[in-house]
Structure 1
Amino acid sequence: MFAEAVLKHRPSDFIVREAMALPVQDEPGPAHRYLVLRKCGYTTTEAIGWIAAKLGLRTADITFGGLKDEDGVTEQLIALPATALSDEDTGCVLSLTEADDRRLSLWHHGYGADPIAIGELEGNAFRVVVRDLGGSPAERFSALRKVNLLFLNYYDTQRFGVPGGPKRSHLVGEAMLAGDWSLALRELAGLGAPESDAAGAWTGQAKRFFDSLDPRAASFFLAAHSSHEWNTALAARAGEVFGDAALDVEIDTIPYRYARCGAAAAELLGNCREIPFVKRSLHNGLITAKTSTRASVVQTVVSVSGFGPDTEFPGRFQATLGFFLPSGCYATAAVRQLVSYIVHGAP
């Protein structure tokens, strides 16, 4: 919940489709098979682990362009060795349903010469239902059709923990970076993450547990720490630009400093277009670091439709938002700030 809106009340309220332009051919022959992974209730790493076990592959054999949350209905491309499946397997090649809100399926997409690499993803298209609207915000939403939205490009709360769990994954990364692997293991065991049960049961040397993980999973915790550092830097710059007009909020124990309107976000963009980001990863037992930049403010056009009585919250209203974001941006961060602007009367 944020301000006067509820997000992700149910998985179908948050639909994500990945945008990636890959050279694909229909006929077998290339080394890699591309498939569409449709899922709900699973993290990308959980889904990859299940697919690898089902097909007798290493998780490293399956590549993808980005992570998709478990608390929504998501669709993304993955690549695996073409020999892992028969060329006669087309359509839905694998599926798993544990419950209505916990399911996945894998669909044939085509063939290509190369695996999919992190960073190749152009962005994601979103369809998000905003619920529990009332009062003035509901009236303002009802009048909207398209919004030219500028928002602060924070890493949102899902970067720091799983739904319903403590938002402390950045503390795992912080302990890893400090070389305190025992603390990192204890923090991970308490996260409720897919790796937490195994971490809690681990009896060997703490660092060896992290070395045993898929490097992409282990590196996620370092990335969470870097993301928290970056958020702190953005909040500091926002404080310098906004002064007393800054809006300080806390969501799931994670602090944020927002603008009160899109015009203020544009002012921040004019003062600080990018902020350095230190990307850290764990591979072959070693932590490496590479510095890049991340946009401080992102602009997108949000289409507003489906405004009407809320089907889940009687006496309240809902609206459906459609928009596209570049890779690495968080739809929930965008929507929360849009709602905040509307609450304060100036989207």
Structure 2
Amino acid sequence: MTDTFVLKHRPEDFRVRENVLVPLTDQAGADQHYVLLHKRGYTTMETVRLIAERLGVPSQDIGYAGLKDEDGVTEQLLSLPLTARHAAHELLTAEFLETVDAGRLLRLSHYGYGTEPLTVGRLNGNGFRVVLRNLDEATAARIGDRRRINLLFVNYYDTQRFGVPGGPKRTHLVGAALLNQDWARARMELAGLNAPESAAARRWAGADQDFFAGLDPRAVAFYLAAHSSYGWNARVRELIATTCPTDTDDVRVDGLPYRFPTTAAGVAALLAARHELPYMRYAYRGGPVELPTVRPTVVQAQLTVGDHGPDDAFPGRHAVEVGFQLPAGCYATTALRQLIVQR
């Protein structure tokens, strides 16, 4: 990379709020209770399991529209079944959901009632407010001196798709083993990921296939999708090599390979050559279910530049705050990496 910039130095440096609209109704005619989840230090799936345990319902009964990482401050909607009405009321006031534990936080607040459980795919997008840190003066000036920035960026799956922060980036290998029905290999890979399911995978003493059958199907589908995402990234890298043979930056981020065009014209050349590529989504219903779709190769974002100046966390360096919206499925981190790279 052309700069050793830092993201997510503090959780508050990376704020995310999802954009999803649900029709609301009176409680009397509803079977779903929508709550707003404010969290820090927890993944969405980890939170869902905690709430399901407290409500005494299967984790599949807790609905969400998208996954939010643990290394930021995030807000998203969840749907809870009204069959657990009394337990849900207690959950909203439960003390453990209001306290900070070693930098972690979960808080639920009432949003409304409706008849539609939240499902993956309902998400319209996400809003971000991010602080870029440890910038050199020239890079900070290039970004900070502009009020708005029109950014074209390659729509890569970023590294959080392939592992938790600080853990090995190998979720795609779990997915590959699942597709090959190599259940022992899949459980072994999962056990080494430091993912929320890893501890249970290490303890499991039964048939390996039964372990995955007992997981929330959405969690298993995530690992299958990670395999598909890794292959999609590889196809995009190959396309960039032909559409933009010069002015590219080949980098490894958390050990994973990326190729970034260093000019907006290079990104536009990719867009002109192939505006989208096939992508295989997955569900898991006792086995992988393929859901063919397409994914855009390039995304355009309008960034609003906020506060900028000396970095209080990195003496002698600079920080810039930016705000923007992205469609569902796009990664703010890869957009910001390309903001830094592009000249």
Instruction: Identify the TM-score tier after normalising by the shorter chain.
Output: over 0.9
Equivalent in 155, 158, 165 of residue 163 of structure 1:
165
Q: Give the drift of 1:113.
A: 1.2
Q: Give the drift of 1:12.
A: 0.5
Q: Distance in 1 between matches of 2:211 and 2:2?
A: 37
Name the SS of the counterpart of 1:307 in structure 2: strand
Change (3 A) 1:311 1:25: farther
Equivalenced residue count is 341
Change (3 A) 1:305 1:269: same
Partner of 1:267: 269
Q: Give the drift of 1:309.
A: 1.1
Partner of 1:133: 135
Name the SS of the counterpart of 1:221 in structure 2: helix
Q: Are 2:78 and 1:44 equivalent residues in the alignment?
A: no
Question: Residues 304 and 319 of structure 1 are in contact (CA less than 8 Å); yes or no, is this contact kept in structure 2?
Answer: yes
Q: Are 2:183 and 1:181 equivalent residues in the alignment?
A: yes
Q: Distance in 2 between matches of 1:127 and 1:88?
A: 31
Q: Are 2:289 and 1:288 equivalent residues in the alignment?
A: yes
Partner of 2:16: 16
Q: Distance in 1 between matches of 2:88 and 2:55?
A: 15
CA deviations over 1:289-315 (Å, ceiling 9, x no partner) = 121000000001001111011111111
Q: Distance in 1 between matches of 2:283 and 2:27?
A: 36
Question: Residues 276 and 294 of structure 2 are in contact (CA less than 8 Å); yes or no, is this contact kept in structure 1?
Answer: yes
Equivalent in 233, 236, 248 of residue 235 of structure 2:
233
TM-score by length of 2: 0.95
Q: Distance in 2 between matches of 1:280 and 1:203?
A: 27
Q: Give the drift of 1:118.
A: 1.2
The within-5 A match list for 1:59-138 is 59-86=59-86, 89=89, 92-94=92-94, 95-99=97-101, 101-138=103-140
Question: Residues 174 and 190 of structure 2 are in contact (CA less than 8 Å); yes or no, is this contact kept in structure 1?
Answer: yes
Equivalent in 227, 250, 253 of residue 252 of structure 2:
250
Partner of 1:324: 325
Q: Distance in 2 between matches of 1:2 and 1:282?
A: 41
Name the SS of the counterpart of 2:223 in structure 1: helix
Q: Distance in 1 between matches of 2:224 and 2:164?
A: 16
CA deviations over 1:133-192 (Å, ceiling 9, x no partner) = 113212312312110000000000000000000101101111111121111111111101
Q: Distance in 1 between matches of 2:87 and 2:279?
A: 42
Question: Residues 306 and 321 of structure 2 are in contact (CA less than 8 Å); yes or no, is this contact kept in structure 1?
Answer: yes
Question: Residues 90 and 107 of structure 1 are in contact (CA less than 8 Å); yes or no, is this contact kept in structure 2?
Answer: no
Return 5+ residue gaps in structure 1 as ranges. Answer: none
Q: Give the drift of 1:201.
A: 1.1
Partner of 1:34: 34
Q: Distance in 1 between matches of 2:184 and 2:65?
A: 31
Q: Distance in 2 between matches of 1:21 and 1:90?
A: 25
Q: Give the drift of 1:264.
A: 1.4
Name the SS of the counterpart of 1:291 in structure 2: strand
Matched-pair identity in %: 48
Name the SS of the counterpart of 2:235 in structure 1: helix
Change (3 A) 1:29 1:91: farther
Name the SS of the counterpart of 2:279 in structure 1: strand
Q: Distance in 1 between matches of 2:320 and 2:293?
A: 36
Which residue type is aligned with residue 52 of structure 1? Answer: A
Which residue type is aligned with residue 148 of structure 1? Answer: N
Name the SS of the counterpart of 1:314 in structure 2: coil
Which residue type is aligned with residue 185 of structure 2? Answer: L
Question: Residues 90 and 108 of structure 1 are in contact (CA less than 8 Å); yes or no, is this contact kept in structure 2?
Answer: no
Which residue type is aligned with residue 128 of structure 1? Answer: V
Partner of 1:311: 312
Change (3 A) 1:183 1:98: farther
TM-score by length of 1: 0.94
Name the SS of the counterpart of 1:17 in structure 2: strand
Question: Residues 248 and 258 of structure 1 are in contact (CA less than 8 Å); yes or no, is this contact kept in structure 2?
Answer: yes
Q: Distance in 2 between matches of 1:113 and 1:26?
A: 10
Q: Give the drift of 1:98.
A: 5.0
Change (3 A) 1:89 1:205: closer
Partner of 1:216: 218
Question: Residues 16 and 129 of structure 2 are in contact (CA less than 8 Å); yes or no, is this contact kept in structure 1?
Answer: yes
Q: Distance in 1 between matches of 2:93 and 2:231?
A: 41
Q: Distance in 2 between matches of 1:313 and 1:28?
A: 54
Question: Residues 282 and 289 of structure 2 are in contact (CA less than 8 Å); yes or no, is this contact kept in structure 1?
Answer: yes
Q: Distance in 2 between matches of 1:165 and 1:7?
A: 17
Partner of 1:201: 203
Q: Give the drift of 1:281.
A: 2.8
Q: Distance in 2 between matches of 1:97 and 1:180?
A: 41
Name the SS of the counterpart of 2:133 in structure 1: strand
Q: Give the drift of 1:233.
A: 0.9
